[in-house]
Chain A
């Protein structure tokens, strides 16, 4: 059952997470320090080159990359906001009743139209047909 009032254990449970966070951070720190103490260090120029199948690395790796990654990132933001709105809707769904169903239907329908539009435009393709023709 959903409880309306914040529970008394609110602080306790959150502080338990804080304690867990401290333990994990401490663990990582101890490991890295211990490693720093016992690891060998034999410097060599060759070791510092990045791996490129045995060839000498050519140029930087920080280059322009496929624009499609951006398009999908934008899509993700839109639909992730959808998910974020749906979660609280789902929690109170039973309390509100049929009206919640109608409202949810409208909300999801709008997003479905958006998805259909993006699909139709070919933006869900990793390699777009227009790009291919060019």
Chain B
């Protein structure tokens, strides 16, 4: 081992940084893949418990090998591209979905500066804003390309829903950017540090924005009660009705990774990221994963609890409630900061 460490010390700083970056990317990517497969299992299992069913429990102990079995099965399924479909767009959509989904998580910090983040961008928030809005292209492409009425409706609905709620999502961040004075997510996390532990977090200081974020984020990732783009009971599966085998798996992966992303972003921006909830306990990446797990559970819990919105209700809620509330809250925050109210002064 000393040979390796000598070799490491002999490398130039640029080469060291390069290898650290490669290692980080490799580790985080694999963790995400593992998390995705685990989430497919956990979601089915938890939903089953909430509905007094058993869920997948035959593959391995408690069914934990179910994601692997699913993966293998999907690899051995044939490729079906519908006759009237636009082949290029149909083929490209799942790939676009996966790439867009994975990329946005690159700026989320799991721990303090340094190792626990792929990229500590100065413009982290802007990056998130930009990349997360790419996901809608994939869904519209998937919905349009198949030349199926159900997917077309799913794609259209999804486009309108995603941009309506994206607006509220973006507006819900403005208040906390004001308090942190930075676009860098690492700065936003440390801005939530203070003597009061979890009372300093932005989910308390920016409570209305936090609620707007949670609702808008659920809608952004098309989860119940905002799963109108998929709506099994009316659109069979919405934009991915015509997808099967590996392409279906990729679309599914994009959905779960998107959910993971909004949970991770919510943890960093509103729940203090890797900060500890009590003033006496040390900060640690472990805290990040605890809060992150709770948010993921929250999304599954919602799905087990709430029915679906009707389309007009969805649009009304986004435009007449979320957008005005978020805008008003920006003004309130601005006023409180200007007046120098404690907690808004930092």
Contacts and interface: CB of A to CB of B under 8 A. Distances in A.
B24 A16 contact: yes
Interface stretch (B3-11, B175-183, B281-289): B175-183
A66 B311 CA distance: 13
Contacts, number: 216
Nearest to B172: A83
Range class of the B interface residue count:
35 or more
A74 B244 CA distance: 34
Contact of A101 (B82, B144, B335): B335
Binding site of B, secondary structure by majority: helix, strand, loop or mixed? Answer: helix
Contacts of A34: 75
Nearest to B146: A50
A117 interface: no
Interface in B273-287: none
A72 B324 contact: no
Given A27-B29, A28-B99, A17 B119 contact: yes
B211 interface: no
A41 to B, nearest CB: 6
Interface residues of A, number: 77
Interface in A52-104: 52-53, 57, 60-63, 65-66, 69, 72-73, 75-76, 79-80, 83-84, 86-87, 90-95, 97-98, 100-101, 104
Given A23-B29, A40-B78, A52-B148, A101 B99 contact: no
The 5 A-B pairs at the shortest CB distance, nearest first, are namely A126-B312, A50-B148, A13-B119, A90-B177, A83-B170
Interface of B: 17, 21-22, 24-26, 28-29, 75-85, 95, 98-99, 102-103, 106-107, 118-122, 125-126, 129, 144, 146-152, 156, 159-160, 163-164, 166-167, 170-171, 173-175, 177-178, 181-183, 187, 236, 241-242, 245-246, 250, 311-312, 315-316, 319-320, 323-324, 327, 330-331, 334-335, 337-338
